[in-house]
């Protein structure tokens, strides 16, 4: 970054001018509807999402910044250089001034546009962006050489994060492949009903009949499907709370213990977690099943991994019943046939899959942790590099 510091010191030591978008760019929306997306199309189709779809025809052939007018306000930005199609509620910003780098402004808007929009809002949130809002946004205009050097640095950070993200995607696919390969047991003699290798299958309580959520004395967590993440129970500020009396009522039914496998049996079916520590200050809702394996026959994490294989998931969904809200009856869950090899074999398989799982999902030591660290580093340098003193 020494080169950048020298450029700034030599070319704009007293600050840089600022301008608004209206003065230097054309701002407009597209004409396409979301249902015009075509997976086989050859042109990127920008909609009101981070996801970029495809379309068989294009509307523009240019370099531009893309911002949705609704949804993800101030959080979704795309950069495009070439032919593309645009949704009718998505804005394009095309710069007509050759002294301005589109990608430089893209990075600047990514860093500062949301704060600008929130300052203009009457409420704490903005549900849509209007063209005059975009046009009035101001940004610095250092010499083009300075802009290009900043873009080069930030592109480098972005490429590093993209490489790690691609590596994580590849590892997850590899993990899924090995999960299904390792747990593919052809010996039919080891396939037995789940009910034969567990102590119990219980569930929690629904608050409608027995207690209220989030009372003044509620200090314990009430775990729903939302808290089952990456095979663990993850609490957050939005997790509901219950008081001590409700906690006891829930536990009288669920009887949670270390080693129990949690399984979402209603709504979003198939989310899992293994209880690793004593559940002293939380319990589960009705619809989350607490499965207690017989430790001499079934390893808890082995069972958890089984629930994520294609074969077992297919078998589970064949048993699902219900109308709007789907569920798998507890009796059907007990009758589910699973492979149960010797305990030593289960433990060997669990060690292999745990290593993959940590690499793909561990937020403290795996690839997600490395990506998060890179992202923080990128955001720090982005904000630092894009902060200029205004020239008076």
CATH number assigned to the domain comprising residue 78: 3.90.220.20
Q: Are residues 288 and 247 in the same domain?
A: yes
Q: How confident is the model at residue 363 (pLDDT cuts 50, 70, 90)?
A: low
Q: How confident is the model at residue 167 (pLDDT cuts 50, 70, 90)?
A: confident
Does the pLDDT value for residue 71 go beyond 80?
A: no
> What's 216's DSSP letter?
T
**Selected residue with higher pLDDT from 182 and 297:** 297
Does the pLDDT value for residue 62 go beyond 90?
A: yes
Residue at which a domain ends, from 74, 108, 141: 141
What is this structure's pTM? 0.61
Q: Which helix (H) or strand (E) holds 177?
A: helix 144-182
Number of structural domains in the chain: 3
For residue 380, the model assigns a pLDDT of 84
Q: Are residues 40 and 102 in the same domain?
A: yes
Q: Are residues 197 and 280 in the same domain?
A: yes
Q: Are residues 22 and 10 in the same domain?
A: no
Residue at which a domain ends, from 340, 355, 380: 340
Q: Are residues 10 and 39 in the same domain?
A: no
Q: Are residues 310 and 391 in the same domain?
A: no
**Selected residue with higher pLDDT from 212 and 124:** 212
Q: Is 93 left (phi over 0), alpha (psi -120 to 50) or beta?
A: beta
List the single range of 30-39, 158-167, 279-288, 330-339 with lowest mean pLDDT: 158-167
- Supply 193's token pair: 């009903």
- Supply 341's token pair: 């090899």
Q: Are residues 271 and 333 in the same domain?
A: yes
Q: How confident is the model at residue 66 (pLDDT cuts 50, 70, 90)?
A: very high
Whether 95 and 68 have beta carbons less than 8 Å apart is answered as: no
For residue 181, the model assigns a pLDDT of 78
For residue 82, the model assigns a pLDDT of 96
Q: What angle do CA 357, 359, 362 make, to 5 degrees?
A: 75
Which residues lie closer than 8 Å to 262 by C-beta, 6 or more apart?
223, 228, 233, 272, 273, 274, 275, 284, 288, 289, 290, 291
Averaged pLDDT for residues 40-46 = 95
Rounded Cα distance between 243 and 352, Å, is 40
**What range does the domain containing 384 cover?**
1-16+142-185+342-392
């Amino acid at each position: 970054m020494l080169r950048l510091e020298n450029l700034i010191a030599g070319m704009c030591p007293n600050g840089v001018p600022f301008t608004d978008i209206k003065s230097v760019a054309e701002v407009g929306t597209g004409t396409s509807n979301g249902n015009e997306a075509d997976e086989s199309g050859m042109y990127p189709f920008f909609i009101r999402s981070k996801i970029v779809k495809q379309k068989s025809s294009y509307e523009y052939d240019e370099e531009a910044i893309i911002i949705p007018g609704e949804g993800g306000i101030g959080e979704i930005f795309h950069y495009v250089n070439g032919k593309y199609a645009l949704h009718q509620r998505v804005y394009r910003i095309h710069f007509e001034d050759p002294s301005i780098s589109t990608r430089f402004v893209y990075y600047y808007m990514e860093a500062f546009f949301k704060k600008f929009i929130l300052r203009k809002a009457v409420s704490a949130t903005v549900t849509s962006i209007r063209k005059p809002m975009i046009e009035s946004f101001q940004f610095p205009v250092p010499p083009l050489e300075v802009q290009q050097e900043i873009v080069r640095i930030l592109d480098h950070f972005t490429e590093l994060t993209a490489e790690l993200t691609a590596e994580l995607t590849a590892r997850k696919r590899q993990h899924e492949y090995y999960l299904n390969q390792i747990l593919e047991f052809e010996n039919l003699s080891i396939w037995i009903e789940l009910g034969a290798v567990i102590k119990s299958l219980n569930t929690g309580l629904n608050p409608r009949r027995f207690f209220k959520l989030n009372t003044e004395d509620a200090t314990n967590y009430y775990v729903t499907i939302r808290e089952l993440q990456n095979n663990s129970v993850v609490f957050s500020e939005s997790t509901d709370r219950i008081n001590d009396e409700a906690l006891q009522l829930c536990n009288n039914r669920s009887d949670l213990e270390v080693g129990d496998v949690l399984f979402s049996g209603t709504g979003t079916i198939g989310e899992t977690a293994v209880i690793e520590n004593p559940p002293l200050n939380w319990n589960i809702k009705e619809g989350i099943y607490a499965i207690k394996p017989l430790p001499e026959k079934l390893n808890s994490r082995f069972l958890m991994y089984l629930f994520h294989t294609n074969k077992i998931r297919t078998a589970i969904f064949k048993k699902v019943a219900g109308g709007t809200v789907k569920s798998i009856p507890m009796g059907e869950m007990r009758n589910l046939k699973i492979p149960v090899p010797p305990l030593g074999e289960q433990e060997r398989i669990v060690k292999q899959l745990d290593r993959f799982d940590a690499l793909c999902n561990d937020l403290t030591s795996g690839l997600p942790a490395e990506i998060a660290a890179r992202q923080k580093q990128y955001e720090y340098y982005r904000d630092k590099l894009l902060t200029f003193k205004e020239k008076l």
